[in-house]
Amino acid sequence: MARAFLVVIDSVGIGGAPDADTFFNGDVPDTGANTLGHIIDACAAGQAEEGRSGPLRIPHMMALGLGAAVTLASGQKVDAPKPLGTWGAATEVSRGKDTPSGHWELAGLPVPWDWHYFPDQKPAFPDDVVAAVCKAAGTDGILGNCHASGTTVIADLGADHLRTGWPICYTSADSVFQIAAHEEHFGLDRLLQLCADVAPLLHQMKVGRVIARPFVGDVGNFQRTGNRKDFAILPPAPVLTNRVQDAGRAVYAVGKIGDIFSMQGIDEVRKGDDRALMGHLGDLMRDAQDGSLTFANFVEFDSLYGHRRDVSGYARHLEWFDAELGKLLPQLRAGDMLVVTADHGNDPTWTGTDHTRERVPVIVAGIGTGALGQIAFTDVAALVLRHLGIHA
């Protein structure tokens, strides 16, 4: 029985979103943002890394049709071979350029409301939210209460956190409420329980995610850990994972997929950093049940390189992923399908530090050669269901 592997390379957009002019990084519209296209240009110009020259080396994805997808999405010409896979470019309709919007729509459900965003001011949060956090945490106050970079905010406020015991609360241009706390001094279980306790209030406000951001270390050397957990708002209708599970098939979540969908339609979760996730994906190619769906997210493109505007790191991570993908492709069984796509953009050459509104690639191995054309995000879910033989 056919199996499907749906892999999201988080934030690897390919430009060309028709409504990019209505989305902003600060005061600058996202018009012209092109995550992959601009990384390709930077590498070709020798600007991606000091001492480096030559093109971005991602031959396996290019062979599947990634270069053709970039050209289709944005018009940028890319030097790439004739595609050997099935390829296209997907356009989002949900009014967000974030993780829940992108993933829900890829899973067949456009977001039916506008997300709530906190203003870029200090304080950023209303009094009732602050009071709820203090009550749940058992503290007299919170730290932060602003828009901030996750790594910067713990460097700036970590010492105060250790001294007061108050949680560090911050947000971004996304619809998120993030709580950072020291795993040992505050307690990891306490942090996770705090996030779980305040999540219903934030979700009622249509804030997409409450995110636990644990860290360790001492003053001057704080580091975030891999124990992040997203408490996401529950999808209001069935999504791809529900449809597959309801058909009696197994659904495996790799990375933060289980968190994004609030465990809806998920049988098994495997987590870790991107390198560990690649190992999990390889194991599932070997062991996943017939007829199953494996849904994976590789977040470090976004979290480590996109938001930090690190062109060099993003390029290296693309090359690492492509090399690993090349090892996985021969492991696909007859009848298997592998889809590689993205949920939004995060152009590391762009102004600001926020996501960018872009089309995303859809490249497919295992179903022959052909052009999907310009499709909708929801068509990705339809493609997977059709391959698995699951009908409405």
Annotated binding residues for Mn(2+): 10, 302, 307, 343-344, 355
CB atoms within 10 A of CB 276: 14
**Residue 222 bridge partners (DSSP):** 217
Separation of alpha carbons 345 and 343, rounded Å: 7
Residue type, 256: K
Instruction: Specify binding-site residues.
Output: 10, 302, 307, 343-344, 355
Contact status, residue 224 vs residue 215, Cβ threshold 8 Å: yes
Dihedral sign of CA atoms 225, 198, 25, 345 in order: positive
Separation of alpha carbons 330 and 345, rounded Å: 29
Q: What is the maximum span of the chain, computed from C-alpha positions, in angstroms? A: 62
The structure tokens listed for 218 are: 């001492």
304 exposure class (CB count in 10 Å sphere: 0-12, 13-18, 19+): middle
Residue 215 sits at φ, ψ, to 5 deg, of -145, 165
Separation of alpha carbons 45 and 40, rounded Å: 9
